[in-house]
Structures are given as structure tokens and as C-alpha cells.
Structure 1
Amino acid sequence: MSATKTTDHLPIGQNRLRGESSSASALAGIGCRKGAPLADVLAAIEAALAVNGLARAHLAALATIALKRDEPAIADAARALGVPLVVVSEAAARDASARCPTSSAASLAATGIACVSEAAALAASGGRLAHPRAVRGAAACAIATSSLREPRS
């Protein structure tokens, strides 16, 4: 079962519910159009993991901005993958926006954030992006990582 937690920063490799260490070392930031299908969100996550050379077992959590917290496909993806959903504040996402390699005019107009997926990943993880976001259909995913350890089982 997954949980939603609003935060400005959570270290990668921490169990978001109990604060325990885990071997998961990647956080997937998610952005999507309103009403995006679950299949697009999952496809974007898989594509972003693949570009980063990571397996699903490396995934510690999904993250998005507060404006997207009620998007069904994002919450459903977290449940399907068995990871928590971290919701970052708009302020934290805007602060992280300056470090995003991607800038979307549509995202800026709608949210004031250059790239929701990249900013959410950076703000929630405190880590770094190795690659820009992956886009599949109506969804985008960016992976933030810290020092990689063995995948969780």
C-alpha cells in the first residue's frame, strides 16, 4: 500500500513511511496532462528508468507537485508499483525549476514550473537528474538518483 506525503525534501533511500533505510535509490518525478491515462504514466516511468539504466527495483517513490496530487493516474501508478507518492510544495518545485534541463512553455503557463516531472524529482529527492525527462503520451517522468546501491527485493 502506498501513501501520499507532502514534503519539501526527502532523502532517497529512506522508507518514506517509517524513515528506515532501503536499497531503493531512484525517485520518479511525474507530470502529466489532466486526465492522463495510467498506461501513459507507467510507460513514461519505464522509459525514464531504462534511459537511466535502472530497474523497477531501484524505485523508492514517485513524486509530483501539489497541483497534480489528485490526478488518478499518478496515484494509481504509485499503487501499481508499490511505492509511496511524495507530493512536493509548489514553492519547492519552483525552487528546483531553475535546475531543470527542460523548459516547457505549456508547463510554465499552467504551473509556473519549467518542467513538473524534473522539478518534482529534484525537489523530493535532493538528488540529481542524469537525463532529462522521458515523455510517453500525456505523461512525463524524470528520475533523480543518489548513490546507487543494490535494488530492493
Structure 2
Amino acid sequence: MSARLALASIALGTSGLSTALVSWCAKPYVTTLRRFRPDGSGTAEELEMTTLSLTLQPRITKVYDPSFLIETRRPLAKWELAEKIALTPIRTHAVGTNLHPADGQEETVAETADANGNVMGRWIVKWGENGVGTCHQVGHVIRYFNVHEELLQ
């Protein structure tokens, strides 16, 4: 009886581990990529990427500023949402000073929603001195993306 329990436990453990591994590998795979061009000047292009959960439920991540998407070292992913970013200085012609977001100012860079549009999580940047931003997660946001070359065209 103990051998049967051991074999059943090993089979269930292996099944659970392989399911978790498949979920981790397939989680960032982007099935749909949409680009939204800005209407006004001074706004960045937005990206909307659809991935699937383990139960094949769509997860839609909107990235409001694609400059926060960087190449990743994570296996089976192409992009990730940056943890830190530094803005290049913007000079005003009239004053001649550099403009950066105010220290301590926060803004949403990306957010992930379910198929019903309920926001599950946000990727938020908190600006520091000289336009250096540190990002953090609130809720559950999808951070890694595996984008196939055909979607980029």
C-alpha cells in the first residue's frame, strides 16, 4: 500500500510540476498585439498585448509608453517592463532649463485587465531626481512578453 501511495504521489507531483513549468513558459506568449497611434502631439504610442492565463482566459496588458519595454534576459520572453528608467533631458527654448516629472510623482505605465475589463494590476513609475524613475507592481500585472516577429510588422 505504501508503494502505491508513493507512486501516486510521484505521478501527481510530476504532473503538477510539468503543468507549472508549461504555465511559466507559455505565460508571456503574446497572441494579439495592437498599436494605438496618439491623436495629439506629445503623447506616446500605446501598445495592447493579449496573453492567456493557465485556464486560457485572456489577459490584456496596455502599455501606455513603449519606452518602458526593454529587452529581457528571461528565457522564453522578448520584452519586459523596466524596473528603472532615466529620461533624457527636455530643454525649453524660452527658459533653457531641463524639464522632468516632479520628484515623488507617480504615473501608471502599464495595466493588465481580464477579459471583462477588470483591472488586475498596474506597473507604476515613481519619479525621482533628474528624471530617474523606479517602477513597482500593484496587484497582478503581466511583466514579461514573448512577441513573435510577425506581430511586430
Q: Give the TM-score normalised by the residue count of structure 2.
A: 0.25
Give the number of the structure with larger relative contact order, counting CA–CA contacts within 8 Å between residues 6 or more apart. 1
Structure with greater strand share of residues: 2
Rg larger in 1 or in 2? 2
